[in-house]
Amino acid sequence: MPDGVIAGFLAPHAPHFLYGENPPQNEARSRGGWEVIRWAYEAARADLERLRPDVLVVHSPHWITPVGHHVLAVPHLRGKSVDPIFPNLFRYHYDITVDAQLAEAIVEEAGAHGLLARAMRNPAFRVDYGTIVTLHMLRPDWDLPVVGLSSHSWPYWDGPTPDEEIREVDVLGKATRAAIERLGRRAVVLASNSLSHRHFSEEPDPPDDMSQEHHYNDLGYRWDVRMIELLRAGRTREVFELMPEFTREALPETKSGSVTWMFSAMDYPEVPGKLYGYGAAIGTGNAVMGFDLTDSIVAGR
């Protein structure tokens, strides 16, 4: 099988999914919940296993770095990550092996591509929940080295504008691919993003009361379905043509750039995406999808 970027997954990171799993690493306990997404991740895990990657590379919107693009580059990161938004759901003890050589190569390539990029080499750094939830849901054994990239867009600011950010993460994706190819890694790239992102402002009590879970509004749901249909059909170019309108109307989390980065790292393939599942988390729309560049998933169907 070839080296390089071999696949990508759209892998959203609401802490609710991990909370619903009750893994031993998480202090918070649930009665389950969000099963449709969790079953989707189960199927995605099996396909990821078949791909036999060397490394998982994830771009997270919850490591927010308004100055530059940052890359986790400490060989071993251990600690406790408490979600500042949902501390009641996510208090996770992590133990992460990082492909620091690849991380440094991505920083070098990003710099060579004209971006402001930095390696994060501080072992006391707290890893964000976007990175952790996506990685845990796809690979709960944590037996593959990973690389984590920050989001340059501070979502609550007007700047950088979506256009500016798309240009930046497009270049970051190219730099990521160049580093992966230079080192000959078999890498899977992960976009830690939900789709439509309007959400409730009050939490159900208890938080895992699934009778309270639904899509925030019809507009967001319909936009998500439209984008998912295009992705399933491999109509990647149309997805990105629609992205500005999608961003305006559905306020998707993709605004932070993870999906654009992932597709850029894959060189915008027109391959049919495999939908594992779609559902709501506190009102947001979440699709788990895979994009196989090796045909191995297709062969396994």
Partner 1 sequence: MPAVSAFLVPGSPLPLLRGDEPPYRPLRRALDEVAGRLADSRPDVLLVYSTRWIAVLDALWQTRPRLDGVHVDEVWHDLGDLPHDLRVDTDLAHACVAATNAMGLRAKGVDFEAFPVDTGAVVANALLNAGERPIPLVIAANNIYHDGPTTERLGALALSQAEHQGKRAAALAIGGLSTEFHRAEIDLSDDHISDPAKDELNRRLFDLLAGGDTDAIRAFLPEFSDRARGDQHMKHLWWLLGASGGVQGATLQAYGPDYGSGAAVMEFTTVSEQAVETPRPGATAVAPGANRGAPVWQAAMRPGRRRAAARSWSRPSP
Q: Which residues bind partner 1 (CB under 8 A)?
A: 13-16, 62-68, 70, 80-88, 91, 116, 118, 120-122, 124-126, 150, 154-159, 194, 197-203, 216-217, 219, 251, 253, 255-256, 281-282, 284
Exposed, middle or buried, 142 (CB in 10 Å: 0-12/13-18/19+)? Answer: middle
Q: CB of 277: closest distance to partner 1 in angstroms?
A: 17
C-alpha to C-alpha distance for 201 and 87, rounded to whole angstroms = 15
Q: CB of 251: closest distance to partner 1 in angstroms?
A: 6
C-alpha to C-alpha distance for 215 and 213, rounded to whole angstroms = 7
Comparison of 260 and 284: residue with beta carbon closer to partner 1: 284
Q: CB of 116: closest distance to partner 1 in angstroms?
A: 5
Backbone angles phi, psi at 8, to 5 degrees: -135, 155
Comparison of 111 and 272: residue with beta carbon closer to partner 1: 111
User: Quick one: which of 193, 184, 176, 183 has its CA closest to 57?
Assistant: 176
Comparison of 20 and 53: residue with beta carbon closer to partner 1: 20
Comparison of 53 and 257: residue with beta carbon closer to partner 1: 257
The CA distances from residue 52 to 8, 144, 224, 246, in Å, are 13, 10, 30, 34
Q: CB of 202: closest distance to partner 1 in angstroms?
A: 6
Q: CB of 79: closest distance to partner 1 in angstroms?
A: 8
Please check whether residue 92 is in contact with residue 80, taking contact to mean a CB–CB distance below 8 angstroms. Answer: yes
Comparison of 57 and 71: residue with beta carbon closer to partner 1: 71
Degrees, nearest 5: CA angle 70-246-279: 85
Comparison of 153 and 236: residue with beta carbon closer to partner 1: 153
Comparison of 124 and 299: residue with beta carbon closer to partner 1: 124
C-alpha to C-alpha distance for 190 and 184, rounded to whole angstroms = 18
C-alpha to C-alpha distance for 43 and 39, rounded to whole angstroms = 7
User: Quick one: which of 97, 267, 71, 116 has its CA closest to 177?
Assistant: 267
Q: CB of 276: closest distance to partner 1 in angstroms?
A: 19
Q: CB of 159: closest distance to partner 1 in angstroms?
A: 5
Q: CB of 239: closest distance to partner 1 in angstroms?
A: 19
Scan for tokens 């649930």, then name that residue.
Answer: 30
Please state whether 142 falls in left (phi above 0), alpha (psi between -120 and 50) or beta.
Answer: left
Cβ neighbours of 161 (radius 10 Å): 12
Comparison of 53 and 279: residue with beta carbon closer to partner 1: 279
